Amino acid sequence: MNKPNIAQKSPYVKETPAGTYYWCTCGHSKGQPFCDGSHKGTGFVPHKIEFTETKRAAWCGCKHTKKPPFCDGSHSKL
Q: How far is CA 42 from CA 4, 23, 50, 77, in A?
A: 10, 15, 24, 25
Whether residue 1 lies inside any domain: the answer is: no
Whether residue 60 lies inside any domain: the answer is: yes
What's the whole-number mean pLDDT along residues 60-74?
98
Whether residue 42 lies inside any domain: the answer is: yes
Give 26-40 pLDDT, tens digit per residue.
999 999 999 999 999
Strand partners, 15: 56
**Domain ranges, residue 43:** 12-77
Strands (E), 1-78: 12-16, 19-23, 47-51, 55-59
Per the structure, the count of domains in the chain is 1
Whether residue 70 lies inside any domain: the answer is: yes
pLDDT level of residue 19 (50, 70, 90 thresholds) = very high
Whether residue 35 lies inside any domain: the answer is: yes
Q: Do residues 59 and 69 lie in contact, with contact meaning Cβ atoms separated by under 8 Å?
A: yes
Q: What is the mean pLDDT of the chain?
A: 96
Whether residue 32 lies inside any domain: the answer is: yes
Whether residue 58 lies inside any domain: the answer is: yes
